[in-house]
Amino acid sequence: MKDLKYYIIGATALFTIYIVANLNRPKPINWAETFVNKDKTPFGTYIIYKRVKDLFPGATLNPRREPVYNALTNESLKESSYIIICPGIDVTKVEYGQLVKYIAKGNDVFIAASDFGTLLQKKLHIDTRADFTFQQGKTPIRFLNPALDTAKFHQLDKGCGSFYFNSIDTAKATVLGQNDSRKANFIKYRFGKGNLYLMANPKMLSNYSLLTPQGAAYAATALSYVRNTKQLLWDEYYTQGSGDAESPMRVFLSNPALSWAYYISLFSLLIFVLYEVKRRQRIIPVIAPLQNSTIDFVTVVGQVYYEKRNNANIAHKKAIYFLEYLRDQHKLKTGKLDEEFTEIMTRKTGIEPQLARNIVNAINFINTHAHITDQELIKLNYLIEQFYTQSR
């Protein structure tokens, strides 16, 4: 138990050192393309979410963490705009119908994604691709509105402007922006009184982009196409999922401080269990059970008789033991071993008459002779064994 105690102390010390080292080491940059409005990572959307009201003064920012159909079925959403920034969006047929209905009433929808899903690609005849042929992922992009500086290109690294629409329906789509290869990356569709804006480069609206003058100018210009309304719906569903599906443990582990507390508690509980496993009382020694020495005793006695070679003594004792067995088990009187005794033994024991006569003759012979040969002793033993076999 002392060794276990030292092991636990050493493991605890090493684990403490590991925790301190991890808490004090520089945190690596998380380049995951989350586009979550709470993330301050490079490709989160914390900055634009906090500053979007600068572009829409007077509008009420209303985050929605539900699918498109659920988010747009409320009748109070008149004169509103809907912004979706995510890695990819895939709407159903019912959601697409609700989206078109919402836009036709005079509302604008702005979707920035690199993948628009099967249904939108089919309905709008679009297809997105990426171009990473430029150095360090820098793809120059610009706006085509004559009211803007069409000769000004916005260029960022990390592939922020690499995606574009490989194919569009030129009869219905209006190209608002393109890269230097004249591939559209920002387009508009008209549905009734409203507009649907599609941008293939959501990274241009991320924290990484908005921390640069070029990125901030591009994001402000792109979102300025969306009309300023009373309500501004901000999608959280396509980046964070449904709020109902989030378990308390997921929220708990998403916080670094709480997650560390959780892991330390588990480790402490494990140490406690290991330490308490040890015995609370002295070890009870194992006492070997007493051995049956009868066989050893018989072996020793037999060996002594065999070495003395006193056949008469052995035969005499075997006869005495046999006669005692007859008296005890079959209630026979063994005072006189004659013909009458032989007949009674035959009836009571069920052995053959000849075997009974041979046994009686052998015992009488032993009682009247002082010297017994090996063959005579063996014969007596054989006859007695035959008796036991037949009398069973």
- Which residues have a Cβ under 8 Å from the Cβ of 3 and sit 6 or more positions away? none
DSSP reduced 3-state for 230: coil
Residue keyed to tokens 């959307």: 45
pLDDT at residue 137, as a whole number: 65
User: Which uninterrupted H or E stretch holds 129?
Assistant: strand 127-130
pLDDT digits (tens, 9 = 90+) for 66-96: 999 888 987 678 889 999 999 999 999 999 9
214-230 average pLDDT score? 94
C-alpha distances in angstroms, 102 versus 170, 236, 321?
23, 18, 115
More confident residue, 65 or 377: 65
- Distance in angstroms (rounded) separating the CA atoms of residues 44 and 51: 14
pLDDT at residue 247, as a whole number: 59
- Which residues have a Cβ under 8 Å from the Cβ of 215 and sit 6 or more positions away? 154, 156, 160, 204, 208, 209
Percentage of the residues of the chain whose pLDDT score is greater than 70: 90
- Distance in angstroms (rounded) separating the CA atoms of residues 222 and 205: 9
- Which residues have a Cβ under 8 Å from the Cβ of 208 and sit 6 or more positions away? 42, 43, 156, 158, 160, 215
More confident residue, 313 or 113: 113
Residue 228 amino acid letter: N
Residue 80 amino acid letter: S
Q: Which has the minimum average pLDDT: 70-74, 191-195, 253-257?
A: 253-257
Task: Record the pTM.
Answer: 0.61
- What the block records as the tokens of 264 is 């330390």
φ, ψ for residue 140 (rounded to 5)?
Answer: -65, 135
Strand partners, 88: 115
- Distance in angstroms (rounded) separating the CA atoms of residues 104 and 303: 116
pLDDT category, 280, cuts 50, 70, 90? low
More confident residue, 378 or 110: 110
Q: For residue 244, is pLDDT > 60?
A: no
pLDDT digits (tens, 9 = 90+) for 325-359: 888 888 888 888 888 888 888 888 888 989 889 98
pLDDT category, 5, cuts 50, 70, 90? low
Q: For residue 259, is pLDDT > 80?
A: no
End-to-end CA distance of the chain: 60
Q: For residue 370, is pLDDT > 90?
A: no
Q: For residue 31, is pLDDT > 80?
A: yes
pLDDT digits (tens, 9 = 90+) for 151-176: 899 988 888 999 999 999 989 999 99
DSSP reduced 3-state for 253: helix
pLDDT at residue 286, as a whole number: 85
